[in-house]
């Protein structure tokens, strides 16, 4: 629950930053946020203007272009649009899904299935490479791990030679007890 609250606070502070930077009043800003989010989601300007301002189509058509060109609206649209990497990942998933449907379709002949598998190879390789790199990053050895390994090896050498370390840190000889 705390994570969700933190994310909402970050979004509000970023939007407040845009509002403060451009000096926009609360009511106007709320309508601008609605307009920008609708445009970023793919709605046309006129429809977004009608939905955010509750005006008729003729008025919306005449005002939408000018409202769209305002710098603070452009900034809000950039804020709401997904980045290119997100779109690219979605496109890859769509391509893989379509290819897998072709492969699993019993009505398709073997030649089409083979071509679909060939077409999917680069996308699957990218996904596998990305997973391998994530795994590599997660399993990196830290400096503390190296130090612990050295200490464990040193203790094993002392123990094998019949020695121990006492409370003061001195190495002492001991007898092996079974």
- Per-domain boundaries in the chain: 2-80, 82-164
- The half-sphere exposure of 27 on its side-chain side, counting CA atoms within 13 A, is 1
What pLDDT shows up at residue 149? 80
pLDDT in tens, 86-107: 555 566 677 777 778 888 888 8
Report d(CA 178, CA 163) in Å as an integer: 15
pLDDT band at 131 (very low <50, low <70, confident <90, very high): low
Report d(CA 176, CA 158) in Å as an integer: 12
pLDDT in tens, 25-39: 989 999 999 999 899
Q: What is the average pLDDT across 47-59?
A: 92
What pLDDT shows up at residue 3? 45
Looking at every residue in the chain, the average pLDDT score rounds to 76
CB 36 within 8 A of CB 79: yes
């Amino acid at each position: 629950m705390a994570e969700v609250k933190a994310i909402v606070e970050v979004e509000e502070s970023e939007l407040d930053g845009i509002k403060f930077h451009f000096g926009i009043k609360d009511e106007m800003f709320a309508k601008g946020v609605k307009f920008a989010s609708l445009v970023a989601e793919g709605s046309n300007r006129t429809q977004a203007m009608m939905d955010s301002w509750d005006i008729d189509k003729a008025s919306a058509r005449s005002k939408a272009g000018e409202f769209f060109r305002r710098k603070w609206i452009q900034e809000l649209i950039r804020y709401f649009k997904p980045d290119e990497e997100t779109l690219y990942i979605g496109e890859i998933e769509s391509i893989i899904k379509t290819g897998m449907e072709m492969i699993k379709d019993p009505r398709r002949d073997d030649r089409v299935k083979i071509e679909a598998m060939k077409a999917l190879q680069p996308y699957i390789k990218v996904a596998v490479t990305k997973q391998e790199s994530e795994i590599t990053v997660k399993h990196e050895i830290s400096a503390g791990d190296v130090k612990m390994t050295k200490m464990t090896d040193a203790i094993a050498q002392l123990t094998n030679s019949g020695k121990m370390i006492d409370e003061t840190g001195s190495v002492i000889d001991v007898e092996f007890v079974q």
